[in-house]
């Protein structure tokens, strides 16, 4: 695996990869890689002949009360995992300037009204930061394919909307959620939880699953959501939101919606916030 730390090194490596026929697939990450991230690489390798991953803890998507400084940086371990999985190229920028020429003069991509809902309501400006850095990576790398995980449901939809407008020839792939044996969606934030807290966290997915079954059984949606919030609170999983939305994240308020949809939930365990969803 080639490792590029500067834009110049990346340019050289991309030129070398361009000599290999086929498509280039991008897997953007912030590092602290787990099996969920590696599953994106597995999918990318099936869809493209060349793969590039990025590890960049993006300062633009962290708010004042977020965990930018304590976000786990595990580069040595991450490099080994990517190398073992057969990634062709890793862009691991030395600093912010290797991604943004100037952190104070950046072309910001706005996430619009949807970026202010759900997780965006809790983390103002978060999705503007996500779209801005993803747009920058698309500009620098020019991939044919990009793979994102379904756990970050809102993020994936916002990126898809941006790409449709700015990168119409880019193929976006949504990869399924990878879960631990106990049902918890894999996330770097799980590292902040103790073993007892991880066991408590299983109740978020249980709640999502039970709610999807209840909706199929035509139980009143308001009752489903009220019961879900009571259930989560009973396990000290303080919910930020628990909602039913369609595949474009329009809110569903009634029973009988036949299209693709998802229950989405965000909960807090002490100071750690977890998100999850179930599509049906």
DSSP 8-state code for residue 154: H
Give the mean pLDDT of the chain: 96
Helix (H) or strand (E) holding 166: helix 153-166
What tens digit of pLDDT does each residue of 234-262 get? Answer: 999 999 999 999 999 999 999 999 999 99
In angstroms, the CA 241 to CA 253 distance is 14
Helix (H) or strand (E) holding 269: strand 261-269
Q: Do 43 and 164 lie in a common domain?
A: yes
User: What pLDDT, on the 0 to 100 scale, is given for residue 70?
Assistant: 80
In angstroms, the CA 232 to CA 86 distance is 40
User: What pLDDT, on the 0 to 100 scale, is given for residue 13?
Assistant: 98
User: What pLDDT, on the 0 to 100 scale, is given for residue 68?
Assistant: 83
**How deeply is 61 buried, as exposed, middle or buried, from its count of CB atoms within 10 A (0-12, 13-18, 19+)?**
buried
DSSP 8-state code for residue 185: B
Confidence of residue 72 (pLDDT cuts 50, 70, 90): confident
Please count the structural domains in the chain: 2
Q: Do 11 and 117 lie in a common domain?
A: yes
Q: Do 194 and 163 lie in a common domain?
A: no
Structure tokens at 216: 């199929």
Q: Would the pTM of this model clear 0.85, i.e. be above it?
A: yes
Residue 106 lies in a domain: yes
What tens digit of pLDDT does each residue of 39-61 get? Answer: 999 999 999 999 999 999 998 89
Answer with the residue of higher pLDDT: 66 or 204.
204
Residue 233 lies in a domain: yes
How many residues appear in the chain?
280
Residue 180 lies in a domain: no
Answer with the residue of higher pLDDT: 115 or 102.
115
Confidence of residue 65 (pLDDT cuts 50, 70, 90): low
Confidence of residue 169 (pLDDT cuts 50, 70, 90): very high
Structure tokens at 114: 């949807």
> What proportion of the chain, given as a percentage, has pLDDT over 90?
92
Find the CATH number of the domain harbouring 17.
3.40.50.620
- Annotated catalytic residue, options 34, 37, 75, 126: 37
In angstroms, the CA 29 to CA 17 distance is 20
What tens digit of pLDDT does each residue of 109-168 get? Answer: 999 999 999 999 999 999 999 999 999 999 999 999 999 999 999 999 999 999 999 999
Q: Which of 252, 268, 269, 271 is nearest to 260 (CA)?
A: 252
Structure tokens at 68: 């930018």
Q: Do 10 and 106 lie in a common domain?
A: yes
Is 37 among the catalytic positions?
yes
Residue 58 lies in a domain: yes
In angstroms, the CA 190 to CA 273 distance is 9
Q: Which of 161, 145, 66 is nearest to 109 (CA)?
A: 161
What tens digit of pLDDT does each residue of 4-42 get? Answer: 999 999 999 999 999 999 999 999 999 999 999 999 999
User: What pLDDT, on the 0 to 100 scale, is given for residue 152?
Assistant: 97
Q: Do 106 and 142 lie in a common domain?
A: yes
What's the mean pLDDT in 185-210? Answer: 96
What's the mean pLDDT in 68-78? Answer: 90
User: What pLDDT, on the 0 to 100 scale, is given for residue 104?
Assistant: 66
Residue 182 lies in a domain: no
Phi, psi of 223 (to 5 degrees): -65, -45
Please answer whether residues 243 and 118 qualify as being in contact, where contact means their C-beta atoms are separated by less than 8 angstroms: yes
Structure tokens at 264: 């989405």
Residue 183 lies in a domain: no
- Tell me the β-bridge partners of 275: 266
In angstroms, the CA 52 to CA 44 distance is 9
- Give the domain extent around 264: 188-279
Q: Do 92 and 67 lie in a common domain?
A: yes
The angle, 0 to 180 degrees and rounded to 10, between the axes of the packed helices 221-234 and 195-216 is: 170
Answer with the residue of higher pLDDT: 39 or 64.
39
Please answer whether residues 186 and 34 qualify as being in contact, where contact means their C-beta atoms are separated by less than 8 angstroms: yes
Q: Do 111 and 16 lie in a common domain?
A: yes
State which of 153, 175, 197 marks the end of a domain: 175
Q: Do 39 and 130 lie in a common domain?
A: yes
């Amino acid at each position: 695996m080639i490792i590029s730390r500067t834009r110049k090194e990346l340019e050289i490596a991309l030129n070398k990869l361009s000599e290999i026929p086929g498509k280039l697939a991008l897997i953007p990450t912030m590092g602290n890689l787990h099996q969920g991230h590696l599953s994106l690489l597995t999918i990318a390798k099936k869809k493209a002949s060349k793969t590039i991953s990025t590890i960049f803890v993006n300062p633009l998507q962290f708010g004042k009360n977020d965990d930018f400084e304590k976000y786990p940086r595990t580069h040595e371990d991450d490099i080994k995992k990517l190398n073992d999985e057969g990634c062709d190229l890793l862009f691991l920028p030395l600093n912010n300037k290797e991604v943004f020429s100037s952190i104070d003069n950046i072309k910001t991509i706005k996430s619009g009204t949807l970026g202010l809902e759900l997780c965006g309501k809790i983390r103002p400006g978060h999705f503007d930061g996500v779209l801005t850095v993803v747009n920058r990576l698309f500009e620098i790398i020019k991939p044919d394919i990009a793979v994102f995980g379904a756990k970050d449901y809102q993020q994936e939809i916002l990126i898809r909307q941006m790409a449709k407008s700015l990168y119409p020839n880019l193929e976006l792939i949504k990869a399924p959620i990878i879960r631990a044996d106990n049902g918890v969606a894999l996330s770097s934030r799980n590292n902040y939880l103790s073993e007892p807290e991880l066991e408590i966290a299983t109740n978020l997915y249980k709640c999502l699953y039970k709610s999807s079954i209840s909706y199929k059984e035509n139980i009143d949606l308001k009752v489903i959501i009220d019961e879900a919030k009571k259930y989560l609170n009973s396990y000290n999983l303080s919910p930020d939101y628990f909602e039913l939305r369609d595949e474009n994240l329009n809110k569903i308020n009634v029973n009988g919606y036949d299209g693709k949809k998802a229950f989405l939930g965000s909960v807090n365990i002490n100071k750690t916030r977890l998100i999850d969803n179930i599509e049906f």
